[in-house]
Amino acid sequence: MADMTDTLFIVLAAGEGTRMRSATPKVLHPLAGRPMLACVLAACREAADADIAVVVGPDGDNVAECARKTAPGAQVFVQGERLGTAHAVLAARGAVRAEHKRVLVLFGDTPLITAATLAPLADAVTDGTAVAVLGFQAADPSGYGRLLTDGGELVAIREEKDATEAERAVTFCNSGVMGFAGASVLSLLETIGNDNAKGEYYLTDAVEIARERGLRTVALEGDETEVGGINDRVQLAAAERVCQQRLRHAAMAAGATLIDPETVHLSHDTQLGRDVVVEPNVVFAPGVTVEEGARIRAFSHLETAHVGAGAVIGPYARLRPGADIAEDVRIGNFVEIKNAEIGEGAKVNHLAYVGDAGVAAGANVGAGTITCNYDGERKHRTEIGANAFIGSNTALVAPVRIGAGAYVGSGSVITKDVPDGALAIARGRQTEVPGWVAKRGAGKDKGK
Ligand code: UD1
Ligand code: MG
């Protein structure tokens, strides 16, 4: 990590996002399970323990809430009218303090930026350099501001609408991420006017103003995949792909095996321990930790769950929020676990629902067992003691407790607690009528 103390990050998040065609503000659309604004703020926080300001639009309450949640110390400013990127940065002028050596401006809709890219940009803003811009070689430069350079120097940034034909031919483009020296940032930005094709206060005009004052301005080159802005859902999906690829690589680098990585969907906070094996077509929603050596079999879905070392989950299992699976547990096909602790070595192997429950170590929950946790108004707990055996197709009507080592006969509807070591059977008794079939046969003949 570069030394980036004395830094202020300003994240512009007052986006219109009309092309998303959504009731949700653009910067709150998620990537790998968290809003894109949170991705940007995470990159800032990873780069440095620095101050953060977020600029939101007039209807940006949800955006402000997201900012405060992801970056608790962040200051939020409202840009009342959308008058351009320089105007937006100035909305946060109250966050700029004398001790800030540099101010880095980022866009909330450019979520793939990484801490590793921010560090050299911050380093480029030195005493002699007033503006450092992160550029990239654009496969298709249309819509971007062009970086006009002379040798190693950045001479100007020309917005597409204001560019000459020759300038438009330039493919070195402005990512939007810009670093400013703290000493001159406010005076540069206050000098920017709006005499241009869009009638906006362009942040990018700071480059030419700095040069008129004899200050140095530079451009760094970054990777296009990191600086792509999201304007519509097709770009959102493309960014998700990049995010997923990064997460999969990180998981594998940390020692997990993903047998068919392209089919595994991870979240930004998925934790896979060493020698975890993930089979194809598994989805990790946010909040999942899997400990060493566990195996997540194909077509399973996990969310806010903990899987202990050596456990085997699935295929086709669903772990819902609050599923806490201890070491060496087996959770099999078509089993749903919600808000339940499953103790070490316990087995829930087939077609079961275990919700609001505690299953102690070594218990065996048979096929088709259901914890009836909801009475239509409230949820109730089921407790299953250590080494208890629950026969197939049992309904456990909560609140109810099955004692340690107890047995429950198949097909039971259990409504009362079962003591330790007892056998409980709660089902219609079987009766036989000897010779009934033959008698029925005789009766049938009579009728003919
Ligand atoms: C901007 C840059 C351009 C760069 C491109 C990269 C300027 C003038 N141009 O152009 O050089 O190549 O981004 O994607 O800076 N915003 C506000 N308030 C405003 C205006 C914008 O918060 O009044 C925010 C937007 O939400 C967005 C960002 O600033 O996150 C960029 O604004 P946008 O209008 O998309 O600028 P571009 O025309 O794409
Ligand atoms: Mg844009």
pLDDT in tens, 335-380: 999 999 999 999 999 999 999 999 999 999 999 999 999 999 999 9
| Cα-to-centroid distance, 365 and ligand 1 (Å) | 57
**Whole-angstrom distance, CA of residue 85 vs CA of residue 94:** 16
Report whether residue 228 contacts ligand 1, using a CB cutoff of 6 Å. Answer: no
Report whether residue 174 contacts ligand 1, using a CB cutoff of 6 Å. Answer: yes
pLDDT at position 4:
72
Q: Is residue 18 very low, low, confident or very high in pLDDT (cuts 50, 70, 90)?
A: confident
**Whole-angstrom distance, CA of residue 48 vs CA of residue 7:** 8
Report whether residue 78 contacts ligand 1, using a CB cutoff of 6 Å. Answer: no
pLDDT at position 228:
86
Q: Is residue 448 very low, low, confident or very high in pLDDT (cuts 50, 70, 90)?
A: low
pLDDT at position 399:
98
Q: Inform me whether the pLDDT recorded for 216 exceeds 70.
A: yes
Do 240 and 262 form a contact (C-beta atoms < 8 A)?
no
pLDDT at position 447:
53
Q: Inform me whether the pLDDT recorded for 383 exceeds 90.
A: yes
CA separation, residue 120 to residues 195, 219, 220, 226, 265 (Å): 32, 11, 8, 14, 31
Q: Inform me whether the pLDDT recorded for 393 exceeds 90.
A: yes
Q: 48-51, long-range: CB within 8 Å, 24+ apart, which pairs?
A: 48/1, 48/2, 48/4, 48/5, 48/7, 48/118, 48/119, 48/122, 49/4, 49/5, 50/4, 50/5, 50/6, 50/7, 50/8, 50/9, 51/7, 51/8, 51/9, 51/75, 51/95, 51/97, 51/100
Region 127-133 average pLDDT = 92
Residue type, 131: V
Report whether residue 307 contacts ligand 1, using a CB cutoff of 6 Å. Answer: no
The region that residue 244 occupies, defined by phi over 0 for left and psi between -120 and 50 for alpha, beta otherwise, is: alpha
Average pLDDT, the chain: 95
**Whole-angstrom distance, CA of residue 334 vs CA of residue 351:** 5
The residue ranking higher by pLDDT, 180 or 143, is 180
**Whole-angstrom distance, CA of residue 355 vs CA of residue 395:** 12
Q: Which CATH class for the 4-227 domain?
A: alpha beta
SS3 326: coil
Residue type, 164: T
Q: Inform me whether the pLDDT recorded for 174 exceeds 90.
A: yes
**Whole-angstrom distance, CA of residue 199 vs CA of residue 441:** 96
pLDDT at position 126:
83
Report whether residue 79 contacts ligand 1, using a CB cutoff of 6 Å. Answer: yes
Q: Inform me whether the pLDDT recorded for 445 exceeds 80.
A: no
The residue ranking higher by pLDDT, 18 or 199, is 199
pLDDT at position 3:
62
Domain with CATH 3.90.550.10 in the chain: 4-227
pLDDT at position 309:
98
Q: Inform me whether the pLDDT recorded for 127 exceeds 80.
A: no
pLDDT at position 16:
72
Region 224-240 average pLDDT = 94
Q: Is residue 108 very low, low, confident or very high in pLDDT (cuts 50, 70, 90)?
A: very high
Region 64-85 average pLDDT = 96
What is the token pair recorded at 239?
């960014």
Q: Inform me whether the pLDDT recorded for 173 exceeds 90.
A: yes
**% of the chain residues with pLDDT over 90:** 94
Residue whose entry in the numeric block shows the structure tokens 């998700």: 240
Known active-site residue 350:
yes
Residue among 373, 379, 375, 388 at smallest CA distance from 419: 388
What is the token pair recorded at 271?
């934790």
DSSP 310-324: T-EE-SS-EE-TTEE
The separation between CA 347 and the C-alpha centre of its own chain, rounded to angstroms, equals: 30
pLDDT at position 441:
83
Residues 6 or more apart in contact with residue 335 via CB below 8 angstroms: 317, 318, 348, 349, 350, 351, 352, 353, 354
Report whether residue 204 contacts ligand 1, using a CB cutoff of 6 Å. Answer: yes
Q: Inform me whether the pLDDT recorded for 395 exceeds 60.
A: yes
**Whole-angstrom distance, CA of residue 24 vs CA of residue 66:** 12
**Superfamily name with CATH number, domain 233-424:** Hexapeptide repeat proteins (2.160.10.10)
| Cα-to-centroid distance, 158 and ligand 1 (Å) | 13
pLDDT at position 128:
84
Do 166 and 203 form a contact (C-beta atoms < 8 A)?
no
Q: HEC string of 219-252?
A: EEEECHHHHCCCCCHHHHHHHHHHHHHHHHHHHH
CA separation, residue 280 to residues 118, 236, 284, 321, 400 (Å): 35, 24, 12, 22, 38
Ligand closest to CA 175: 1
pLDDT at position 292:
98
| Cα-to-centroid distance, 188 and ligand 1 (Å) | 18
**Whole-angstrom distance, CA of residue 323 vs CA of residue 310:** 16
Ligand closest to CA 158: 1
The atom of ligand 1 lying closest to the CA of 231 is 35
| Cα-to-centroid distance, 201 and ligand 2 (Å) | 14
Residue nearest to atom 26 of ligand 1 (CA): 15
Do 85 and 199 form a contact (C-beta atoms < 8 A)?
no
CA separation, residue 377 to residues 223, 319, 400 (Å): 54, 23, 17
- Tell me phi and psi for residue 360, to 5 degrees: -80, 170
Task: Give the model confidence (pLDDT) of 51-66 as tens digits.
Answer: 999 999 998 999 999 9
| Cα-to-centroid distance, 68 and ligand 1 (Å) | 22
CA separation, residue 215 to residues 178, 206, 411 (Å): 15, 11, 82
Q: Is residue 15 very low, low, confident or very high in pLDDT (cuts 50, 70, 90)?
A: confident
Ligand closest to CA 200: 1
Q: Is residue 304 very low, low, confident or very high in pLDDT (cuts 50, 70, 90)?
A: very high
Q: Is residue 442 very low, low, confident or very high in pLDDT (cuts 50, 70, 90)?
A: confident
The runs of H, that is alpha helices, within 48-153 are 61-70, 85-91, 115-124
What is the token pair recorded at 298?
């194909």
Length of the chain: 448
Domain with CATH 2.160.10.10 in the chain: 233-424
- Tell me phi and psi for residue 253, to 5 degrees: -60, -30
CA separation, residue 101 to residues 35, 51, 76, 77, 220 (Å): 29, 12, 21, 21, 19
